[in-house]
Amino acid sequence: MYQIRTDLALETQEKMQEDKVELKGVRFSEEHVSKNLTISTVVIETENGAKAMEKPKGTYITIEALNMDEEDEDYHREISEQLAKVLKQLISVKKEDVSVLIVGLGNRAVTPDALGPRVVDNLYITRHIINEYGKYAFGKEHVNRVSSIVPGVMAQTGMESMEIVNGIVKETKPDVVIAIDALAARNTKRLNRTIQVTDTGINPGSGVGNHRHGLNEKSIGVPVIAIGVPTVVDAATIVNDTMFNLITAMNQSSELKTLGNTLGELNETEKYELIRELLSPNLNTMFVTPKDIDESVKRLSFTISEGLNIALIDHNIFA
């Protein structure tokens, strides 16, 4: 069966609900923070739940904001503050001074994949200052050691991101790693409007089918928090959304209502098979991104880096 790809646990959970699949070992909750801001939590508690969701056990928190991709002078301070709260919820390290390694995954030369490197550009890095002058250089009793790395992609370095990060972790010994990467979505409405934060780590490149070694606690030996924003959808998603709109339009037309009813009776499997036949081999590997992705990535990078700075510098969330 042709599967529409998504990195968002929320979308996988929604798909299970649409198909009326009973999910055991998976909990879901939703909080409406404001009119435009919703926080959803998917907790995969068992191996059976992980198998059904095709995602590792752990907690997946999704911040959705309808106006996240719009221009904002404060770079959506309220979203950044919610991100800081989510990080506090997921990070289990409880120390006064914590060493944090932030990893900006992705390819800086490809705009939809440049989110991770752009976030790192806007971070407040402290480790080198503390090592040189001590934490009292900041005028505070407690300061977290924040360091960062942009490992690039395999085509640039010849190495897996996991290999690079693993070497840095062994040398600098951080208490926790936070990885930022671009994701793929199933729903076009979630492009650049959603932030997923999870304590399960991440597989760099998985959103576009480039399966690399996972960046998680098992592979590098320390807890890994992953932050991701969907910036692309694949061609099948576009076709699926178009088919839904086509059926809706046909049902509203007296001349085409019979045909619309016929297409509407197709189940998900039959729709995917039809999509597979419609897509040529070239379209099967195509990913689509919004035309203003350069500005969107710029704004999103500020929003996420601000959330990290609030969490790690402005407030000691680990104490």
Alpha helices, H only, the chain: 9-18, 47-53, 77-90, 115-121, 127-133, 154-157, 161-172, 217-220, 235-251, 257-264, 268-278, 281-284, 293-309
Q: Tell me the pairing of strands 58-65 and 194-198.
A: antiparallel
| Domain map (residue ranges) of the chain | 9-237+284-312
User: 305: buried, middle or exposed (CB in 10 Å: 19+, 13-18, 0-12)?
Assistant: buried
Q: Tell me the pairing of strands 26-34 and 37-44.
A: antiparallel
pLDDT score recorded for residue 188: 81
Contact 101, 179 (CB under 8 A): no
pLDDT score recorded for residue 238: 73
* pLDDT tens, N- to C-terminus, the chain (319 residues): 445 568 899 988 888 877 777 778 899 999 999 888 999 999 999 999 888 888 999 999 999 998 887 777 666 889 999 999 999 889 888 777 899 999 999 999 999 999 999 999 999 999 999 999 988 888 887 889 999 999 998 888 999 899 999 999 999 999 999 999 999 888 888 889 999 999 999 976 554 455 557 899 999 999 999 999 999 887 777 776 676 666 666 666 665 556 556 666 666 666 666 665 666 555 656 778 888 899 999 999 999 999 999 999 865 544 4
- Please tell me the distance from the alpha carbon of residue 61 to that of residue 82, in angstroms, as a whole number: 11
At 206, give phi and psi (nearest 5°).
-65, -30
Q: In this structure, how many other beta carbons lie within 10 angstroms of the beta carbon of residue 64?
A: 22
Q: Which fold has domain 9-237+284-312?
A: Rossmann fold (3.40.50)
pTM of the model: 0.84
pLDDT score recorded for residue 272: 60
